[in-house]
Amino acid sequence: MTTPPTPNARRERLIGYFLLGVAVVLVLSSPTWFGSDRSTVGIAQVVVAFVFAGIGGFLIRRSRAA
Q: Please tell me the predicted confidence (pLDDT) of residue 6.
A: 73
Which distant-in-sequence residues (6+ apart) come within 8 Å of 1 by Cβ? none
Q: Please tell me the predicted confidence (pLDDT) of residue 53.
A: 97
Q: Please tell me the predicted confidence (pLDDT) of residue 29.
A: 93
Q: Please tell me the predicted confidence (pLDDT) of residue 44.
A: 95
The answer to whether the beta carbons of residues 52 and 22 sit under 8 Å apart is: yes
Which distant-in-sequence residues (6+ apart) come within 8 Å of 5 by Cβ? 63, 66
Size (the chain), residues: 66
Q: Which residues of the chain have pLDDT under 50?
A: 1
Task: Tell me the per-residue pLDDT of 12-28, one tens digit each, with 9 for 90 and over.
Answer: 999 999 999 999 999 99
Q: Is the dihedral of CA 48, 15, 13, 66 positive or negative?
A: positive
